[in-house]
Chain A
Amino acid sequence: MSEQNSVAFVATESIPPSPPPANQTGVVKWLRENLFSNWQSSLLTLVSLYLIYVILSTFLPWVLNGVWTTSSLTECREVLEGRFGACFSVLTERWNQLLFGFNYPSDQYWRPTLAFVFMLIAIAPVLFFDLPRKMLAFTVAYPFVAFWLIWGGTIMAPIVAFLGCAAAAFVFGAYGKNNFALGFIGAIVAAFAVWIIGTMLIPDGANEGAWLEHVPSRDLGGFMLNMMLGVTCVSLSIPLGIALALGRQSNMPLIKGMCVIFIEFVRGVPLITLLFVASVMLSYFFPPDANVDLFVRVVIMMTLFSAAYVAEVIRGGLAALPKGQYEAADSLGLDYPQAMRLIILPQALKISIPGIVNVAVGLFKDTTLVSVISLFDLVGMIRGPILGGSAEWNGVYWELWGFAALLFFVVCYGISQYSQWLERRLATDHH
C-alpha cells in the first residue's frame, strides 16, 4: 500500500469535458462564422439587416392594414382614415375579372374552374411517374374535355376531333411498327378524313341550344388566358421541337437547311413581332373566307416561337450523347425511327428536361405579351378595364401588380422546383 501512496498523484478518473468557450459554440459560433467573420462581412450583414428592416417596416403595415371589403378606392381611403394600408378590395371585387376576363358569362365560371381542376388531374401522371399509368387515359381525353368545357357549344366538335385523333392513333399502331413513314402519313390522312367527314355531319347552328352555352374566343381573358396559352403552346411545341431538332441533326441538306433557317429566324426576332404577325399579318395568308380567330392565330405563332427554343434545347441533348449510342443502335440493325425512339431520344430528352422546363417557364411568362395586341389576359385586364377603365379603382397600382406578380411567381417557382426534383429523381449515375 505504501508503495502505491508514494506516487504523488494518480488521477483515477478522467476530468469531465468542459464546455467549449462561449464564442466557439452554438448560435454565437454560427453568427461569428457566417455573419461576422471579418469587418467587410460584418458591414455587409449590418447593411442588409437595415435594408430588410426598411422593406419590412413599410411592407408589413401596408399589408396588415389592408382593406378587403370596400367597393372603391375612395371608400378604402375612408376606412383607412389616413393610415398607411393597402386596398385589397380591388382583388375581392374584381376577382372573377382577374381570373376569367370581363366577358366570360358570369354564371358559367364553374366551367373554366372545373377545367383547371381537371388539368391538375390530367397533368399529374405526366409529372409524377409513381402514379398509376391508367390515369394517362384521362390525360389523353383531357384536351377535348377542356375544349368543350371552356368554349362550350355542341359536343359534336370535341367528339369529332377526338375520333380523328383516335383514327390516326389506330392507323399508326397498325402500320407504324413496320414502316414508320407509311404509318405516319397514313395517320395524318386518316385524321383529316375523319375531321372533314365529321365537320360535314355537324349541322349549322349546332351551337345554339347546346348543353353548354357557346363562349366565343374573344370573351376569354384574365389569368385563365395565360394558363390556356401557356399549357397549349408548351404541349404543342414539344413534339414540334423534337421534329425540328432531329431535322437540324439530319444529314439531308435540304431538310437540315430548312430547319436551321426556321430556328435561327424565330430565335432572332422578339416574340412581340411574331404576335404582330398574328394580329395584323397572318389573316392575309389565310383563304379570304376563312375567319380564324385571334386566339388560334396567337397559339400558332407562340407554338412556333417556343418550338424553336425547345428544338435548340433538344439539339443540345442530342449532341451531349456519346457517339457510341448512335453506333450501338446502328449495329443492332435498328432503322432510323427505331433507333431514335428506343435509344437516342429517351436519353437525349432526359438530358434536356431542365432546359425544356426553362423554355416552358419563359413561355408562360411571355404569355403576358398578348396584352400588347389587345387580348385581355391578366396584365391586359389590369392595364385596361381595371386601372384604366374604371373610376372606382383608378390608382390602385401596387395591390394589382403585386397580385399579378405573386400569381406568376407561385406558378413559375413551382415549376422550377419540380424540375429540380425531377432532375434528382432521374439521375441514374451514382456519385
Chain B
Amino acid sequence: MSTLTDPPKDNFRLSMLFNDTRYRSLTFQAIAAILVALSIFYLGSNLLTNLEEAGLNISFAFFQNPAGYDINQRLVEYSSQSSHGRAALVGALNTLLVAFLACITATIFGVVAGVLRLSKNWLISKLMAVYVEIFRNIPVLIWIIIIFTIMTAVMPAPRAFRGDDATASMLLDMFAFTNRGVYIPMPYFEHGLFASAQGNWLLVIAGLIGSFFGARAINRWAAAKQEATGERPKTLLPLLAVWFVPLIVLMFVLGLAWELPALKGFNFKGGIKVGGPLIALWFALSIYTGAFIAENVRAGIQAVSKGQTEAAAALGLRPSRVMNLVVLPQALRVIIPPLISHYLNITKNSSLAIVVGYADITATLGGITLNQTGRAIECVLLLMAFYLTVSLVTSLVMNFYNASVKLKER
C-alpha cells in the first residue's frame, strides 16, 4: 500500500491562492503590501493637498536661519544669533548630558536600594520597599515638577546670602544652593601646556586612558602569574600607583586651581552654575528609574540559587570573593537586559525637560524652533530620528556588553 507518490500536479486554480498553503502566505503578503501602499498613497496625497492649501513645503532650509532665542544651559558656544541648527545641537547635547548623568545616578540608587531591600535589617528592607513602591507608582512628570518646585520655592534666593543678616550661607564656602541653581567650584589650570582649556582637559583624559590600559596590563600580568604558579601577586599598590601618580603629576604640572563661586551684586559669579531645571530633571529621573532598577537588582540577586553561595563558601572562598566571583557574575546576567531598557527609558523620559524649561532637544527643536518657524513636520521628524538613533546606538552598545557577560553555551 504505497502512498509515496508525487504530489498531484494540478492545474493552477484561483482558489488555490487561499486554500493552498504553498501560495497562501504569498497571497496574504501581497494583500498586506497593497494595503500598506494604498494607505501610504492616501496619507501622502492628503499631506500634499494640505501643504498646498496652507502654502507650505517640506524644506530644511530654516536650519540656517538665526534662532533668535537664548539658551541658558549649554555645553557649546551659542547665542541668540546662532542658527536653528545650532540650537538643535545645543539641545541634543543637553539631552545626552542629562541622560548620561541620570543613568549613572539611577544605577547607584537602584543598586543600593536593591541590595538594601534584601538586607536582614527589617526596618531597612521595609523602608526600601516603601521607596520603590512610592516612586514606581507616581508618574515621573509629577516627580520632575515636585523636585523642580523644591528647587525654586524652597531654596533661598541669591540675595538671602547677602549682608550681615544673611539667612542662607554657602556650604563650606564652596557650594551655593540657590533658587536659580547650584553653584559649584570650577577647576581650571593656571599654567596649562595648551592655550585653550579644552586642550589641557584632553591631556588629562589621555592620561586617564593611559592609566586604564596600564591597570589592565597589571591585571593581565597578575592573572598570567596566577595561572602559572597558583599564587596571585599583590596588585593593590601598583594599581593605585598607576591610577593616581600620572594624575597627580599632571595636576601639578598644569597647576590645578579652583574658581569658587562668589556673590557679586544680585547674583553669584564664578564657578559652574548647574541650573535648577537640570538638577530637577536629573534627580527626578534618577530616583524614579532607580526604583525600577532596584527591583531588577533584587530579582537578579534572588535568582542566584542559594546552593551557589553555599558551594562557594564550602570551597573556602571569603564572603567578598563569593559575591565578586560567584553571585554577581550570575546576577548580572539577569540584571543587564532590563537595565538596558531602563537606560533607554531615561533617555526617552528626559524629553519631559520641556515642563521645567531645561533646553533639551525636545524643548529647542520640538518646542521653540517648531513654534517660531511653524515647520511641524520637519521638526518632529528630526526629533524622532534623533531619539531613534540614540536608542539604537545605546541598545547596540549595551547588547555587546550583555553578550560579553552572558552564559557561554557550547
A residues adjacent to B (C-beta < 8 A): 33-35, 37, 41, 44-45, 48-49, 52, 181, 251-255, 258, 265, 267-273, 276-277, 280-281, 283-288, 361, 365-366, 368-369, 371-372, 379, 383, 395, 397-398, 401, 404-405, 408-409, 412-413, 416
Contact = CB atoms under 8 A, between A and B. Distances in A.
Contact of A37 (B121, B141, B352, B366): B121
Contact of A272 (B36, B137, B362, B377): B362
Given A255-B28, A268-B392, A277-B380, A41 B120 contact: yes
Contact of A44 (B33, B36, B121, B141): B121
B46 interface: yes
B12 interface: no
A358 B134 CA distance: 15
B348 interface: yes
Given A280-B370, A284-B46, A368-B141, A397 B53 contact: no
A270 B387 contact: yes
Contacts of B123: 34-35, 44-45, 48-49
B178 interface: no
What are the nearest 8 A-B pairs in CB distance? Answer: A270-B348, A34-B122, A412-B137, A365-B139, A280-B376, A268-B391, A254-B29, A270-B351
Contact of A383 (B18, B51, B145): B145
B60 to A, nearest CB: 16
B153 A276 contact: no
B interface, how many residues as a size bin? 35 or more
A365 B49 contact: no
A273 B384 contact: yes
A416 B137 contact: yes
A173 B51 CA distance: 44
Contacts of A281: 376-377, 380
Given A49-B123, A288-B46, A252 B141 contact: no
Given A273-B383, A276-B383, A401-B142, A408 B137 contact: yes
B3 to A, nearest CB: 17
Contacts of A44: 119, 121, 123-124
Contact of A286 (B46, B120, B354): B46
A272 B354 contact: yes
B25 A273 contact: no
A267 B392 CA distance: 10
Mostly, the B contact residues are helix
A254 B383 CA distance: 27
Nearest to A366: B139
B366 A273 contact: yes
Nearest to A182: B18
Interface in B275-300: none
A399 B63 CA distance: 44
B245 interface: no
A284 B51 contact: yes
Nearest to A290: B46
Mostly, the A contact residues are helix
Contacts of B122: 34-35
Contacts of A181: 18
A269 B388 contact: yes
Interface in B14-53: 18, 25, 28-29, 32-33, 36, 43, 46-47, 49-51, 53
Contacts of B18: 181
A405 to B, nearest CB: 5
Contacts of A258: 32, 36
B274 interface: no
Contacts of A41: 119-121, 124
A231 B137 CA distance: 17
Given A41-B121, A254-B33, A408 B380 contact: no
Nearest to B28: A252
B47 A269 contact: no
B121 A372 contact: no
Contacts of B376: 276, 280-281, 284
A394 to B, nearest CB: 11
B34 to A, nearest CB: 11
B127 to A, nearest CB: 5
30 contacts: A34-B120, A35-B121, A44-B121, A44-B124, A45-B121, A45-B123, A52-B127, A254-B33, A268-B388, A269-B348, A269-B387, A270-B349, A272-B366, A273-B351, A280-B380, A281-B376, A285-B50, A288-B50, A365-B138, A365-B140, A368-B141, A379-B145, A383-B145, A383-B355, A395-B153, A408-B142, A409-B134, A409-B137, A412-B136, A413-B133
B322 to A, nearest CB: 18
Contacts of A52: 127
Given A41-B121, A45-B123, A281-B376, A369 B29 contact: no
Contact of B387 (A251, A273, A416): A273
A119 to B, nearest CB: 20
B73 interface: no
A412 B142 contact: no
B32 A254 contact: yes
Interface in B371-385: 376-377, 380, 383-384
B193 interface: no
Nearest to A411: B137
A288 B46 CA distance: 7
A252 B25 contact: yes
A235 B161 CA distance: 55
B253 interface: no
Contacts of A252: 25, 28-29
